[in-house]
Amino acid sequence: MSNVWFVTGSARGMGVDIAKAALAAGHSVVATARDAAKVTAALGEHDNLLPLSLDITDASAAVAATAAAVERFGRINVLVNNAGSFYAGYFENISEQQLRAQMETNFFGPLNVTRAILPVMREQRFGQVITITSAAGLMGQEFVAAYAASKFALEGWMESLRFDLEPYGIRTMAVEPGFFRTELLVEGSSTIWPELDIADYTKRTTDTIAAWSSMNGQQGGDPKKLAQALVTLSDSPELPLRFLAGADVMSGVGQNLTVIQGQIDAHRDLSASLNYDA
């Protein structure tokens, strides 16, 4: 069956590949970005493609985009919350305004779009909510305090949302990519460096920015293969609750789970002693 996909952040990066893979599989795609003309420039024109302008931080715009999608295709089967930004830096160097902007885009943005689309999916009694989080949504890392906070929030939301939606035939999947060869590390695209300068962090910040900038174009993950994997999973009989995307994130999360298990074991008796005495 041909589905209708609604993909945010479709003017560049991974969103372009996801939209192309869905179209190639015979699905229809509502592809959104802040500027619909940039979506058309990235994807071209296609009978089954509807480019829409959408700022995901604007709840009313999400409602309008949903209405336009339903008017064109009659339904929405698959939502892919892909749009996001990356405010990199050490916590004290990230301004309050930057931190709030990070949460508005990466956390509240997907909530806005999902809240607008869920009534359509509930009426259909079918749908999929696929949200792109990050390896940084499962394990904290240096220089990503704001970004990891936004992605951890998405993980908690998605893990809880499944219980809300399962009675209505709606499935959820969180996707945690590792390092993929997208534009994420390109300054001026999706990455914003910290606004504040604190002497203790200056050298570490300079060195980290240089190291990360040098990684651009060298990341091991192929976004086209990830996009195809998402279509394969969406079209499969059972959507997994979580998809760790890439060998690097599987290795990192595996090591993190070992550390967590060690911490449980190290304080097992103390933890178990905290109940009221019988």
Q: Is residue 90 flagged as an active site residue?
A: no
Neighbours of 184 (CB within 10 A): 23
**How many whole angstroms from its chain centre is CA 82?**
5
Residue 176, SS3? strand
In order of start, what are the domains of the chain with their CATH numbers?
A: 4-272 (3.40.50.720)
Whole-number pLDDT of residue 207: 92
Catalytic residue of the set 90, 147, 201, 276: 147
Residue 146 CB-density burial (10 A; 0-12 exposed, 13-18 middle, 19+ buried): buried
Whole-number pLDDT of residue 116: 98
Whole-number pLDDT of residue 187: 53
Find the helix packing angle between 109-124 and 59-73, rounded to 10°: 40
Q: Count CA atoms within 13 Å of residue 32 on its CB side.
A: 27
| Residue whose pair of structure tokens reads 């996909």 in the numeric block | 5
Whole-number pLDDT of residue 212: 76
> Assign residue 58 a region: left if phi > 0, alpha if psi is -120 to 50, beta otherwise?
beta
Assess contact for 68 and 117: CB atoms under 8 A: no
Residue 81 one-letter amino acid: N
Name residue 32's beta-bridge partners.
52
Q: What is the pLDDT of residues 112-134, one digit of tens each?
A: 999 999 999 999 999 999 999 99
Whole-number pLDDT of residue 211: 83
Residues 6+ apart with CB under 8 A from 199: none
Assess contact for 191 and 185: CB atoms under 8 A: yes
Q: What is the mean pLDDT of each run of 10 residues along the chain (278 residues)?
A: 94 93 98 97 96 98 98 98 94 96 97 98 98 93 95 98 98 91 60 91 92 71 91 96 93 95 97 91
Q: What is the pLDDT of residues 4-48, one digit of tens each?
A: 999 999 998 889 999 999 999 999 999 999 999 999 999 999 999
Whole-number pLDDT of residue 92: 96
Question: At CA 126, angle to CA 13 and CA 232, rounded to 5?
Answer: 45
Q: Report the alpha-carbon distance of residue 78 to residue 80 in Å, rounded.
A: 6
